[in-house]
Structure 1
Amino acid sequence: MNTNAGLKWTDVQDIAVELAEHHPEVDPQYVNFPDMHQWICQLREFSDDPQRSNEKILEAIQAAWIEEVS
């Protein structure tokens, strides 16, 4: 993880790890993208422009999160 600049949308795996740690009760298979987007933007380590995300990025994060908890 690039700790100097914080998490960016391209840090898919690192974001997935953070989401798994912050939301252990959640099954990532069933998270909707608006909720996930909000949770990512609320991560203390996140420092990217919220408007730069898109469905492809969120799908990649969701897939990495599923892999992280399985």
Structure 2
Amino acid sequence: MKWTDTLDIALALIDAHPDVDPQYIRFTDLHAWVMALPGFADDASKSNEKILEAIQMTWIDEQD
């Protein structure tokens, strides 16, 4: 997975953190959790607020 794979990342985060409400997650935590996902292989510095927000919004949408 890369930073642009927002749906795949969101689905993996749902599985990895089922009890977390993504509306209240800090971007620093989100960044760390994405980096720790199995199969994630992208440069940490390629992430930014826009990408993290897109992942968060997709996570919220998919969790509903």
| Range class of TM-score, shorter chain | over 0.9
Q: TM-score scaled to structure 2, two decimals?
A: 0.98
- Counterpart CA distance in 2 for 1:40 and 1:63 is 14
Question: Where does structure 2 lack aligned partners over 5 or more consecutive residues?
Answer: none
Match status 1:67 vs 2:64: no
- Counterpart CA distance in 2 for 1:22 and 1:44 is 10
Alpha-carbon deviation of 1:44? 1.2
Find the counterpart in structure 1 of residue 12 from structure 2: 18
- Counterpart CA distance in 1 for 2:59 and 2:28 is 16
Instruction: Extract structure 1 runs of 4+ deviating beyond 6 A.
Output: none
- Counterpart CA distance in 2 for 1:45 and 1:66 is 21
Q: TM-score scaled to structure 1, two decimals?
A: 0.90
Alignment of 1:1-70 (within 5 A): 7-70=1-64
RMSD: 0.4
Number of residue pairs aligned between Structure 1 and Structure 2: 64
Which structure: larger Rg? 1
